[in-house]
């Protein structure tokens, strides 16, 4: 089962402040564990939404929206793509993850669709 593990944005991540070196080191060790376990497929952090753009679709119409975007708690600051045996394994790994933010934070786990879901 493939899952997208989403690190939710916070005011700190949206401010674009550089991450704490100790947190980066802890996250590096965690990523090494994920690699060694054979579940890590991809991982990266995202720049603040002030550096981003959105394209809104309405039929044939397209509207460009410049960041920053509202509702910080609904934004994503980073992600992993994991291949795990089930959702419970993904939850167990997330519970081991260092806190990715200086204060309270959330990580969301979302299963990806597989072709077998449509057959």
Dist. CA 44–CA 46, nearest whole Å: 7
Radius of gyration of the chain from its Cα atoms, rounded to whole angstroms: 16
Structure-token pair, residue 72: 């910080």
46-100 residue pLDDT tens: 999 999 999 999 999 999 999 999 999 899 999 999 999 999 999 999 999 999 9
Dist. CA 119–CA 109, nearest whole Å: 24
Dist. CA 87–CA 3, nearest whole Å: 8
Candidates 74, 73, 94; CA nearest to 4 is 94
Helix (H) / strand (E) element for 24: namely helix 21-36
User: In Å, how far are 28, 43, 44, 52, 69 from 31, measured between CA atoms?
Assistant: 5, 8, 11, 26, 29
Arithmetic mean of pLDDT over the chain = 96
88-100 residue pLDDT tens: 999 999 999 999 9
- Residue 8 CA to chain centroid, in angstroms? 6
What's this model's pTM, rounded to 2 decimal places? 0.91
pLDDT at 12: 92
């Amino acid at each position: 089962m493939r899952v997208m593990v989403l690190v939710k944005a916070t005011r700190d991540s949206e401010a674009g402040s550089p991450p704490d070196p100790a947190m980066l080191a802890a996250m590096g060790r965690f990523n090494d564990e994920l690699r060694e376990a054979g579940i890590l497929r991809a991982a990266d952090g995202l720049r603040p939404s002030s550096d981003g753009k959105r394209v809104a679709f309405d039929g044939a119409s397209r509207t460009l929206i410049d960041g920053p975007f509202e509702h910080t708690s609904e934004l994503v600051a980073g992600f992993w793509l994991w291949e795990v045996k089930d959702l419970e394994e993904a939850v167990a790994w997330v519970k081991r993850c260092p806190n990715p933010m200086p204060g309270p934070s959330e990580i969301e786990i979302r299963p990806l669709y597989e072709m077998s879901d449509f057959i």
